Amino acid sequence: MPGRDMSPHMRRPVKRHLFDGKTAGTGFAALAAAGFLAGAATSVSAQTMEAALGRAYAGNPTLNAQRAAVRVTNENVPQALSGYRPRINASADIGASITESDTPANATTRGVHSTAISRLAPRGAGVTVDQNIFDGGKTRNSVSQAESQVLGARATLRNTEQNVLLDAATSYMNVLRDTAILNLNRNNVEVLEEQLRQTRDRFQVGEVTRTDVAQAEARLSSSQSQAILAESNLKTSIARYRQNVGVEPRALAPGRPVENLLPKSLPGALQVALSGHPAIIASLHGVDAAELQVKVTEADLYPVLGVRGQVQQRYDSTAFGDNRTSASLVGTLTIPIYEGGQVYSRTRQAKETAGQRRIEVDTQRDTVRAAVVSAWGGLEAAKAQITAAQAQVQAAETALAGVREEAKVGQRTTLDVLNAQQELVSARSTLVTAQRDRVVASYSVLSAVGRLSAETLKLRAEHYDPRRHYDQVKNLLWGTQTPDGR
């Protein structure tokens, strides 16, 4: 471009140091440098990905609700075990009885008319003990079913933990990405404002036409619009971060991929996922519970053998001041003959439910397989996109420098410079997005194979152990207070 040389500000590549890294990790040093959110005060120390994930693990409401669901399921075991224990009931009664008799004079009474009134207060108390001896295996199978439900709930908790940590990692990287893109767009606005100012100066001296000014104005307006959109996207990402992590983001540190924790190949990832993904394990425990429900229901068709012991004390039963004590021990045998077909129907229904659960296992395996393949492909694509985007940025920087030099001697127009500048901004935005995608994709693969957990990531947070509550309540014989004091 002939005439006045471009200012040093316009020649300076916008935030070039942010994109000089060769890997996603070094590239996201850019995002760390740009990680101060709009309107937020800078923290003395940056918040790391590990700290954010640890906070989400400790305080995410979705995860805490699932932990509570596991504790609820734990109580099924002592409820089932109660079938082995006796049922003890006490009863008491008290009342009033008035009896009046009038006997007329006759030969039997030797001609004497008599009247008698009896006032009694019959009362008593007793204790009854019922002990199950045999119930067709209903209690035994109910206990096994409850234990399968507990194991399934733990697997579901692990899967929920994965989803929460993946959402937290994704929102963390989204904030970094959108912050960097916002800074890119704001810097681009500054560059285009300077470009417009110089174009207007050159128009005043007749070096360019009004068309060049209009082109610069249009490009500046477009850039301002993109900056507003980027700011809106950042606010949305901040809200998601607050939802998933529990606090506002402050000076986020670089996020790095967790590829060192992943299987070495796609077949290896599929093998790990299909053998140990918590969603599949939860489905398998669901099959066990459904099959045991068939046995529990069938037990209603079998004889029930039990023993009943009873002790009773009665007062004023037939005469004032009498006192009677009775005790009994009776064996009971109940043999169901026909109950209208209800139990038969419930048994068939339970068998159909078990069949449904087995089909759901196959569905879950297919879902997990598809998730692994998709996440693995996303990770490979992100790596390739980073390499391509880095080359694109370098080429766009070289092209912009060349176009500016050619514009100085009149071989390029203002529009050529504007286009080259826009291509560079787009290339840098693409690189930022690809770097974000690589980190998120690595966490997605770790989640897809079933290994995304606080333990695997070695998060500095108190790890929740669902077995602790189970051990506390399994053999409780009485008491309504929960282990945590409620």
| CATH number for position 289 | 1.20.1600.10
Reply yes or no on whether the pLDDT at 120 is more than 70: yes
pLDDT of 36: 34
Q: What is the DSSP string of 33-52?
A: HT-PPTTPPPPSSPBPHHHH
Token pair recorded at residue 245: 């992590």
- Residue 3 forms part of a structural domain: no
pLDDT of 39: 33
Domains held by the chain: number: 1
- Residue 325 forms part of a structural domain: no
Reply yes or no on whether the pLDDT at 104 is more than 80: no
Query: Stretch 286-292: mean pLDDT, rounded?
Result: 95
Comparing 66-80, 312-326, 457-471, which segment has the lowest mean pLDDT?
Answer: 312-326
pLDDT of 112: 61
CA distances from residue 223 to 177, 229, 419 in whole angstroms, order as listed:
18, 10, 12
Kindly report, residue by residue over 400-453, the tens digit of the pLDDT. Answer: 888 887 777 777 777 888 888 888 888 898 899 999 999 999 999 999 999 999
Comparing 28-32, 92-96, 295-299, which segment has the lowest mean pLDDT?
Answer: 28-32
More confident residue, 113 or 306: 306
Map tokens 């019922």 to a residue: 130
Reply yes or no on whether the pLDDT at 21 is more than 60: no
> CA quadruple 366, 369, 373, 375: dihedral positive or negative?
positive
Token pair recorded at residue 14: 């916008």
- Residue 191 forms part of a structural domain: yes
pLDDT of 12: 34
- The parent domain of residue 423 ranges over 8-91+139-304+341-473
pLDDT of 45: 60
Alpha-carbon distance 397 to 375, whole Å? 32
- Residue 210 forms part of a structural domain: yes
The confidence band for 125, taking pLDDT boundaries of 50, 70 and 90, is: very high
Reply yes or no on whether the pLDDT at 291 is more than 90: yes
- Residue 309 forms part of a structural domain: no
- Residue 171 forms part of a structural domain: yes
pLDDT of 204: 86
- Residue 380 forms part of a structural domain: yes
